[in-house]
Amino acid sequence: MLALLICIVVILGLVIALAYAERKVAAFIQDRLGPTEVGPYGMFQAIMDVLKLLQKEDIVPATADKNLFRIAPIIIFAAVLAGFAVVPVSPDIISSGAEVGIFFLLSIVSLDVIGLLMAGWGSNNKYAVLGAMRSVGQIVSYEIPAGLAILSAVMICQSLNLQEISFQQGILLHHFAGLENEKNYLFGLKALNVDVTAVGGITTWNIIRMPFLLVSFVIYYIASLAECNRAPFDIPEAESELVAGFHVEYSGFRFAALFLAEYTLMVLVCLVATILFLGSWNTPLPNMGPLKLATWTTGTPGTIVATSWGFFWLMSKVSILLLSQIWLRWTYPRMRVDQLMQLCWKILIPVSLGMVLLAGVWRLLMI
Amino acid sequence: MKKNSISIERNKGFWTAVHSLWSGLMLSLRHIKKATKRREQMYVSDPDYFTQKEGLVTLKYPYETIPVPDNGRYRLHNEMDDCIVCDLCAKICPVNCIEIESIKATEEIGITSDGTKKRLYAPKFDIDMAKCCYCGLCTTVCPTDCLTMTKVYDFPEVDIKNMIYHFTDLTPEQAREKQELFKKQQAAKAK
């Protein structure tokens, strides 16, 4: 229960910061100022927006399917929030060390789709239904390349446990039960015979252990943008033709919950990308001769220092990914539905299938 | 057959697409980098006005403003001392935002700055700025040029009633007194 509270507080803080960052970055890209009024540089604007949404009237349309309409935002947010249960934050902090970590995460986040359909259908509004249909079609399609990209990373790591995957990508390899006799070779290739187990840093990240995972990472990143309904894949919102999509009828706290779920999902997919491809909570700095950068910026597991370093590195990587998502949103125009599906089915899925094959072959070279 | 050269070329290849996506990102990054700069507030006649091409362009309006031209035509002002209460402005107003009542004076009550004699009191001279469409017709018909448009353009009010501007220089008591005086004079003449 305490973990849930801490999780919600951290996520809320992160989401509020993200909403503020989004508005400021958007403004700067478009040569505007962004929020300036509330607090220094408008920093409290996002908090004020939350307060405003909370005290707004909770409107349920007269002819809506009231139960579906009321429950939908809760299901959407709960589904996304449940995904955080298996996310490791540092060598010592993890809400649940479930062995099926990433599998659980993918399946529970898929519940989101049910919530979206409930919201769209329950609103009894054709625009909401259209928005929900687009959103669901898009999410279901893009879960395939995302899942395959994740699969290729999982095949390299031979584990579904997110904490085990994290330990594999750093100098703390031997601290995880079951990995005591493992070794990390440069590019994962035993044939090269360059042992980087003690070097750590970026050399043991998954995208270096198996360099082609960079392709998988890009595929996952694109697919995750679509799963969050983020631009350039924000056709469920399409304000020019659909008027805000499936949440057009929502107001007040329920709208806030939907908005929160979208931003929380952004954070979650960035966390997953970081954990699977970018070394999780491990430092990017390698040990180089007398410069024990990796050791210095990791700390001894079990201490506060190690926890803080882990949290710091994870959050830095996630923040960079989040910023890149915002950057993309305000750069690229929205894609059409057919372009969206073409990209998914004709390009991303074949390439990610190839990546799964390549990952299998690479894994054979690693042992 | 050669393709129509005007049509947009499609399927030019993977690397072209990557290149154009990348250059788009770099374009928006350049704008983020320039976010430390801001346009200065300056009037369009300033020689440097068109040289500020970079940085943020938003004006924090109530705190920063671009100067208004000296002959800007916004809020109406009536110089009551010069007004001869001729009612022309109220008649020409296309939106009927000016309301005037008049009381005849018993004698000549003054001279406007251009030498016209004033013979009427105005117990009521109201302009409803909320209705005003800023066409300026009232100022062109005004014979004594007492009704002018000023360069004040920022005058919002919380209560819309405050948008009605009262220009009269008579209190209701004074107006009643003048009315009585005029009636007495008429009565005296009739005898």
The pLDDT tens digits for B171-190 are 888 888 888 888 888 888 88
Which chain B residues are Cβ-neighbours of A331 within 8 angstroms?
24-25, 27-28
* The pLDDT value given to residue A267: 92
Taking alpha carbons only, the member of A213, A209, A30, A230 closest to residue A142 is A230
Taking alpha carbons only, the member of A157, A172, A210 closest to residue A297 is A172
Closest Cβ–Cβ partner in A32, A327, A328 for B56: A32
Confidence label for B41 from pLDDT (cuts 50, 70 and 90): confident
Whether residue B183 is contained in a domain is answered as no
Which chain B residues are Cβ-neighbours of A28 within 8 angstroms?
31-32, 35, 56
Whether residue B163 is contained in a domain is answered as yes
The CA distance from B142 to B146, in Å, is 7
Which chain A residues are Cβ-neighbours of B57 within 8 angstroms?
31-32
- In this structure, what DSSP letter does residue A293 have? H
HSE-up (13 A, CA, CB side) for residue A300 = 2
Confidence label for B104 from pLDDT (cuts 50, 70 and 90): confident
What is the tens place of the pLDDT at every residue in A131-174?
A: 888 888 888 899 999 999 999 999 988 889 888 888 888 888 88
Q: Which residue has the tokens 């070329």?
A: B9
The mean of the pLDDT values for chain B is 84
Which chain A residues are Cβ-neighbours of B34 within 8 angstroms?
31
- Quote the distance between the C-alpha of residue A141 and its chain's center: 17
The residue-averaged pLDDT of A266-293 equals 88
Whether residue B63 is contained in a domain is answered as no
Does the CB of A28 have a partner CB in chain B at under 8 Å? yes
* The pLDDT value given to residue B6: 52
Q: How far is CA B188 from CA B76, B106, B109, B125, in A?
A: 40, 11, 20, 29
* The pLDDT value given to residue A253: 87
Whether residue B125 is contained in a domain is answered as yes
For A333, which residue in chain B has the nearest alpha carbon? B24
The residue-averaged pLDDT of B114-139 equals 88
* The pLDDT value given to residue A152: 92
Which chain B residues are Cβ-neighbours of A36 within 8 angstroms?
60
The residue-averaged pLDDT of A9-13 equals 86
Query: Does position B31 have pLDDT exceeding 80, yes or no?
Result: yes
The CA distance from A272 to A104, in Å, is 12
Closest Cβ–Cβ partner in B32, B57, B58 for A25: B32
Q: Is residue B41 located within the same domain as residue B106?
A: no
**What is the predicted ipTM?**
0.77
For A26, which residue in chain B has the nearest alpha carbon? B32
Q: Is residue B39 located within the same domain as residue B122?
A: no
φ, ψ dihedrals at A10, nearest 5°: -60, -45
Whether residue B126 is contained in a domain is answered as yes
Chain A nearest-CA distance from B22, in A, is 10
More confidently predicted of A89 and A349: A349
Confidence label for A229 from pLDDT (cuts 50, 70 and 90): confident
Q: Is residue B96 located within the same domain as residue B162?
A: yes
* The pLDDT value given to residue A218: 93
Residue B57 and residue A27: Cβ atoms within 8 Å?
Answer: no
The CA distance from B132 to B128, in Å, is 6
Question: Which residues sit opposite B148 in a β-bridge?
Answer: B77
Query: Does position B10 have pLDDT exceeding 70, yes or no?
Result: no
Taking alpha carbons only, the member of A111, A167, A154, A155 closest to residue A276 is A154
The CA distance from B146 to B125, in Å, is 13
The CA distance from B152 to B68, in Å, is 8
For residue A353, give the amino acid letter: L
Q: Which residue has the tokens 């597991």?
A: A301
* The pLDDT value given to residue A145: 93
Query: Does position A193 have pLDDT exceeding 70, yes or no?
Result: yes
Whether residue B58 is contained in a domain is answered as no
Chain A nearest-CA distance from B152, in A, is 25
- Cα–Cα–Cα angle for A18, A20, A24, nearest 5°? 115
- Cα–Cα–Cα angle for A136, A138, A143, nearest 5°? 95
Taking alpha carbons only, the member of A319, A225, A328, A317 closest to residue A277 is A317
Instruction: Determine if the pTM surpasses 0.95.
Output: no
Structure tokens at A46: 């996002």
For residue A85, give the amino acid letter: A
Q: Is residue B33 located within the same domain as residue B88?
A: no
Mean pLDDT comparison of A42-46, B10-14, B40-44, highest-scoring range: A42-46
* Span of A18-32, A56-70, A237-251 with lowest mean pLDDT: A237-251
Confidence label for B5 from pLDDT (cuts 50, 70 and 90): low
Residue A328 and residue B25: Cβ atoms within 8 Å?
Answer: yes
Chain B nearest-CA distance from A57, in A, is 24
3-state secondary structure of B173: helix
Does the CB of A328 have a partner CB in chain B at under 8 Å? yes
Whether residue B89 is contained in a domain is answered as yes
- Substitution target in A218, A331, A351 with the highest count of B β-carbons within 10 Å is A331
* The pLDDT value given to residue B82: 87
Structural contact between residues A286 and A201, judged by C-beta atoms closer than 8 angstroms = yes
The residue-averaged pLDDT of B87-116 equals 88
Residue B28 and residue A31: Cβ atoms within 8 Å?
Answer: no
Query: Does position A36 have pLDDT exceeding 90, yes or no?
Result: no
Confidence label for B9 from pLDDT (cuts 50, 70 and 90): low
Q: How many distinct structural domains can be found in chain B?
A: 2
Residue A29 and residue B32: Cβ atoms within 8 Å?
Answer: yes
Residue B24 and residue A31: Cβ atoms within 8 Å?
Answer: no
Closest Cβ–Cβ partner in B21, B35, B60 for A28: B35
3-state secondary structure of A111: helix
Which chain B residues are Cβ-neighbours of A25 within 8 angstroms?
32
What is the tens place of the pLDDT at every residue in A194-218?
A: 888 888 888 888 888 888 899 999 9
The mean of the pLDDT values for chain A is 87
Closest Cβ–Cβ partner in B29, B34, B56 for A33: B56
Which chain A residues are Cβ-neighbours of B60 within 8 angstroms?
33, 36
Q: Is residue B39 located within the same domain as residue B84?
A: no
CATH code, domain with B81: 3.30.70.3270
Q: Is residue B43 located within the same domain as residue B119?
A: no
Structural contact between residues A157 and A142, judged by C-beta atoms closer than 8 angstroms = no
Which chain B residues are Cβ-neighbours of A33 within 8 angstroms?
56, 58, 60
The residue-averaged pLDDT of A29-43 equals 87
Query: Does position B151 have pLDDT exceeding 90, yes or no?
Result: no
Q: Is residue B82 located within the same domain as residue B155?
A: yes
Phi-psi region of A161 (alpha: psi -120 to 50; beta: other; left: phi over 0): beta
Confidence label for B111 from pLDDT (cuts 50, 70 and 90): confident
Q: Is residue B14 located within the same domain as residue B90?
A: no
The CA distance from B128 to A112, in Å, is 55
Q: Is residue B47 located within the same domain as residue B93?
A: no
The residue-averaged pLDDT of A9-32 equals 89
Q: Is residue B86 located within the same domain as residue B135?
A: yes
Which chain B residues are Cβ-neighbours of A27 within 8 angstroms?
56, 58
* The pLDDT value given to residue A294: 81
Residue B32 and residue A28: Cβ atoms within 8 Å?
Answer: yes
Confidence label for B1 from pLDDT (cuts 50, 70 and 90): very low
Q: Is residue B29 located within the same domain as residue B82?
A: no
For A329, which residue in chain B has the nearest alpha carbon? B25
More confidently predicted of B9 and B79: B79
Query: Does position A241 have pLDDT exceeding 80, yes or no?
Result: no
Residue A33 and residue B32: Cβ atoms within 8 Å?
Answer: no
Whether residue B137 is contained in a domain is answered as yes
For A25, which residue in chain B has the nearest alpha carbon? B32
For B28, which residue in chain A has the nearest alpha carbon? A29
Query: Does position B11 have pLDDT exceeding 80, yes or no?
Result: no
Q: Is residue B81 located within the same domain as residue B21?
A: no
Q: Give the structural domain span for B45.
A: 2-51
What is the tens place of the pLDDT at every residue in A123-138?
A: 888 888 888 888 888 8
Percent of chain A with pLDDT over 90: 24
Q: What is the dihedral of CA A141, A146, A151, A156, to 10 degrees?
A: 160
Residue B27 and residue A331: Cβ atoms within 8 Å?
Answer: yes
The residue-averaged pLDDT of B24-42 equals 85
Per-residue b or e along B153-172, where b marks 16 or more CB atoms closer than 10 Å to that residue's CB: eeeeeeeeeebebebbebee
